[in-house]
Amino acid sequence: MLSKTKISNSNSTSIPSLIRHKFEISPGDILLWDIKKDKIILEHRKKITLNDIDGIISVGGDAVKSKKKSQSGA
């Protein structure tokens, strides 16, 4: 599926509706941009809510590991 958007004067663009709906992209979600060889790679990451991380952090656990786990969306 090929979608096309245009870059505005403020360097913004819109996410095509079909892609937004398929991947359930909504305000507050994060888009990660990367370069692989000569290609632009775009990855979607859902916004993490308190309900998403409930139970991830345990008392006496490793704070660094817990933080990395919550940031990775795992």
Structural domain of 49 = 17-72
Chain segment 63-74, per-residue pLDDT in tens: 787 778 777 765
The answer to whether the beta carbons of residues 13 and 5 sit under 8 Å apart is yes
Q: Is residue 35 part of a domain?
A: yes
Chain segment 30-39, per-residue pLDDT in tens: 999 999 999 9
Indicate whether this model's pTM tops 0.85: no
| pLDDT above 90: residue 7 | yes
- Show Cβ contacts of residue 67 under 8 Å, excluding neighbours closer than 6 positions: none
Number of domains in the chain: 1
Q: Is residue 64 part of a domain?
A: yes
- Both tokens assigned to 36: 């692989």
Q: Is residue 60 part of a domain?
A: yes
